[in-house]
Structure 1
Amino acid sequence: MKINWGTGVVIAFGLFMTFILYFVFEVQSNSKYDNDLVVEEYYKHDSHFQEEMARIQNAHDLKDKPAMVYTAEGLKITFPNTFASEKIKGNVLLYRPSNKKFDFNTAISLTGNSLLISHEKLIKGSWDVSMEWQYNGIKYLSKEVIYVN
């Protein structure tokens, strides 16, 4: 049987569509390819964007800013000595862009003027650190990206 060029084109399209559909079903059914949303309630989160920007600006305007440094012990967040540590309230969200199962939230409880998040809680890779805190009635938001080796 001889196949003409029209039949060949139809067969090629059919094989291509089968190839694409196979990968679509593979990605949707395999848990290795996790495609969750970054933020669960996107529109609710987006409606507070202006407030978030004001808190980021408050943190940016500080003369002495808190420092986030990854050391051998873990993530160390150090507040300047100009802040009274007992007046600082808030929490630190560590967000893992590759897998939300590793995300966690820690309340700010300072020892001296610093907070240490143990390296045992942090797996290797990139982390987005978002620190929401309040001092003397003013709200602040500090964001950084750290990489754990």
Structure 2
Amino acid sequence: MKINWGTGIVIAFALFISFILYFIIKVQTNVKYDNELVVEEYYKKDAKYGDEMIRIQNAQDLKQKPVITNDSEGVAIVFPAEFTPKDIKGIVSFYRSSNKKFDFVVPISLSNSALKVPKEKLLGGRWEINMEWQYEGKQYLTKETIYVK
């Protein structure tokens, strides 16, 4: 049987589409491939983006900003001495972009001007730190990236 050009092209397209569909199905059904969203409820988060920018600007307008440091003991967040520690409320979110299972949140509850997160809670690698806090009725958002060895 002789195959002409038109039939050959149709067969080639059918094989290519089958090949692509095979890999799509394999990736979607195999638990080894993690295809989660980066952020749950992405559209709700995006709708609040303007408010987030205001809180970031509030944090940048401070004369003295909180300092996030990474050392051999873990992560330390030090607030300026001009703030009353017990009046600072909020949360610190540690976000691991490589695996959602390692994300955790630490509430801000201070007796002195520093908050410490022990190194045992942090795996080696890149961490995104989002610190959402308020002081005297004004809301702030501080974002920083650290690398833990």
Band of TM-score, shorter chain: 0.7 to 0.9
Segments of structure 2 that go 5 or more residues without pairing to the other structure are none
Identity of aligned residues (%): 59
The answer for the alignment partner of 2:100 in structure 1 is 100
Q: Distance in 2 between matches of 1:7 and 1:111?
A: 78
Q: Distance in 2 between matches of 1:38 and 1:29?
A: 19
String of CA shifts for 1:27-53, please: whole Å, max 9, x gaps. Answer: 101122212222222232222222211
The answer for the alignment partner of 1:72 in structure 2 is 72
The answer for the alignment partner of 1:132 in structure 2 is 132
TM-score, scaled relative to structure 2? 0.88
Q: Structure 1 residue 63: deviation in Å?
A: 0.8
Q: Structure 1 residue 69: deviation in Å?
A: 1.4
Alignment of 1:4-23 (within 5 A): 4-23=4-23
Alignment of 1:29-108 (within 5 A): 29-108=29-108
Look up the SS of the partner of 2:40 in the other structure: coil
Q: Distance in 2 between matches of 1:94 and 1:128?
A: 6
Q: Distance in 2 between matches of 1:133 and 1:37?
A: 26
CA RMSD of aligned residues (A): 1.8
Q: Structure 1 residue 112: deviation in Å?
A: 2.5
Opposite residue 145 of structure 2, the aligned amino acid is V
String of CA shifts for 1:71-105, please: whole Å, max 9, x gaps. Answer: 11111111121212111111101111122121111
Q: Distance in 2 between matches of 1:71 and 1:37?
A: 31
Opposite residue 137 of structure 1, the aligned amino acid is G
TM-score, scaled relative to structure 1? 0.88
Q: Distance in 2 between matches of 1:111 and 1:31?
A: 44
Q: Distance in 1 between matches of 2:101 and 2:126?
A: 14
